[in-house]
Amino acid sequence: AQKITQTQPGMFVQEKEAVTLDCTYDTSDPSYGLFWYKQPSSGEMIFLIYQGSYDQQNATEGRYSLNFQKARKSANLVISASQLGDSAMYFCAIPSQGGSEKLVFGKGTKLTVNP
């Protein structure tokens, strides 16, 4: 079964600095994708970035980028130039086995950006 591990319950970063949020995964699917979502205190899940397992390059989306290391089964999210509005929970997710649209989420990392 698919599994996502986020080992950092909480992270702190100074405004304008970069931060890396860790995510490792376990899957037996030969092809898969990794997702990152942001959940502010209001509760909505905001899609940030997607990485396909066969993508040649690491995904980037504005200030968000993925440090994808397939052999190590890790897909760490890098947020550059942190802003106060980045304070939120961040979840890494992978589709359920067999390419299903169902997502399996990690436990999340709470990021706090300090002024």
Partner 1 sequence: GAVVSQHPSRVICKSGTSVKIECRSLDFQATTMFWYRQFPKKSLMLMATSNEGSKATYEQGVEKDKFLINHASLTLSTLTVTSAHPEDSSFYICSAGTSGRVYQETQYFGPGTRLLVL
| 45 is a site residue for partner 1 (CB under 8 A) | yes
One character per residue 53-72, x = contact with partner 1 (rule: CB under 8 A): --------------------
User: Using CB atoms within 10 A of its CB, is residue 64 exposed (0-12), middle (13-18) or buried (19+)?
Assistant: middle
The candidate with the shortest Cα–Cα distance to 92, out of 5, 1, 26, 13, is 5
| 31 is a site residue for partner 1 (CB under 8 A) | yes
Amino acid letter, residue 17:
E
Please, what is the minimum distance in Å from the beta carbon of residue 16 to partner 1? Answer: 27
Enumerate binding residues for partner 1 (CB under 8 A).
Answer: 31-33, 35, 37, 42-47, 50, 52, 91, 95, 99-108
